[in-house]
Amino acid sequence: AHPSVRAWTSTLWQDLKSAMVDAAGDPKSELRARLEDGIVRLGHTLQRDVELQAKVDSGVERTVVYLLDQYRDEVADLISGTVQRWDADDASRRIELQVGRDLQFIRINGTVVGGLVGVIIHAITTVF
């Protein structure tokens, strides 16, 4: 394409993109209202249509697998960088919030199993 046409289309695209971003950020814009309506309708359709749910699930899964395969190193760097920025207390709190009930269950099971193993070892050493 001619350089002036290329420059014009680039400017047009930037202007259009900027207008769309501005409209999406304005709670009173027609674009935002239509986007919200479309998203709500999609959500209602997904609730009712099991076949569409399966297609969306499959598509999301394929996309995530592809992205992780293509950007594995970047994802690992992002995660490790995020975790490294946490202080120990913050990390503990986050883990407790996410797996708190399971963590308590693991602690109780560990105590019970440890106690039973101790009783069994004591019984074996006493009998033999």
Task: List pLDDT tens digits, range 45-88.
Answer: 999 999 999 999 999 999 999 999 999 999 999 989 988 888 88
Q: Give the other-Cβ count within 10 Å of 1's Cβ.
A: 8
CA distances from 98 to 62, 101, 108, 122 (A): 26, 8, 18, 38
The whole-number pLDDT of residue 39 equals 93
The whole-number pLDDT of residue 85 equals 86
Rounded CA separation 96/99 (Å): 5
Rounded CA separation 91/88 (Å): 5
In a domain, 109, yes or no: yes
Q: Which two tokens stand for residue 27?
A: 């709670």
In a domain, 110, yes or no: yes
In a domain, 98, yes or no: yes
The whole-number pLDDT of residue 101 equals 74
Domain that holds residue 100: 88-128
Q: How many domains does the chain have?
A: 1
Q: Give the chain's mean pLDDT.
A: 89
In a domain, 93, yes or no: yes
Inter-residue contact 23 to 31 (CB < 8 Å): yes
Q: Percentage of the chain with pLDDT > 90? A: 46
In a domain, 123, yes or no: yes
Inter-residue contact 31 to 20 (CB < 8 Å): yes
